[in-house]
Amino acid sequence: MLRAPNLLAALVAALVLAGCAARAPAPPAAVDWTARAAALAGLADWQARGRIALKAEDRGGQGDLAWVQRGPEARIRVSGPFGAGAYAIHWDAARLTVTSRDGEISREWVGADAAQQFLAEQLGWSFPAVSARWWLLGLPDPATPAAQIFTAEGQLAALEQDGWTVRYDRFADAGGWPMPVRLVVEGERARLRMVIDRWCLGASCEALR
């Protein structure tokens, strides 16, 4: 069975938008965040690649992340020094499958709540996996109430939703919109930091490697 840090990080970054570097300068403050939210909420296909670091109770680790979203289907790959090698996660509306580096299916969860089953079994506590997809894009999950916090300059600073705080430390332009390149997801029992090195928006993106 995979170690818990691998699994949580893989889904968070639940994880996952034209390419940009994590060290690119922040976009101008004059952003129409309402128009941005409308455009990205309707975006079916996007990709992100970067790095993740997790601290959950007495455990922690870090690694690399690649997230490819195609409509309701996500393919997420986590690798690096988590102690469990490289794993791929295929997640759609009805099923979540974890596959090892050699292509062997390690586990499978079935049902609309497959991601929640997966995390509850592995971690022993609840994480809003579905919401993480929206948070990664810099959007609140439309399914539940959320508070958005903006800086004095009008830039999104944080989201508060379902007992979790998502802090956005830096944005950079991708496809004409400011996209998160440094963010922290924090709850009572876990803290996840993500650095996105490359975003690609749209169905024409080449596969991230």
Q: CATH number of the domain at 175, please.
A: 2.50.20.10
Q: Are 172 and 179 in contact (CB under 8 A)?
A: yes
Q: Of the given ranges (62-71, 72-81, 92-101, 113-122), which has the lowest mean pLDDT?
A: 113-122
Cα-Cα-Cα-Cα dihedral sign, residues 143, 126, 88, 67: positive
- Which residue range(s) make up the domain with 159? 4-201
**Is 208 within the bounds of a domain?**
no
Residue 14 has pLDDT above 90, yes or no: no
The pLDDT of residue 115 is 59
The pLDDT of residue 10 is 45
**Is 118 within the bounds of a domain?**
yes
Angstrom distances, CA of residue 3 to CA of 9, 54, 97, 100, 119: 11, 12, 15, 12, 11
Cα–Cα distance measured from residue 189 to residue 199, given in angstroms and rounded to the nearest whole number: 28
**Is 209 within the bounds of a domain?**
no
Instruction: Look at the chain and report how many structural domains it folds into.
Output: 1
What percent of the chain lies above the pLDDT cut of 90? Answer: 34
The pLDDT of residue 182 is 97
pLDDT tens sequence across 150-183? 998 889 999 999 899 999 999 999 988 999 999 9
**Is 206 within the bounds of a domain?**
no
**Is 64 within the bounds of a domain?**
yes
Q: Are 154 and 171 in contact (CB under 8 A)?
A: no
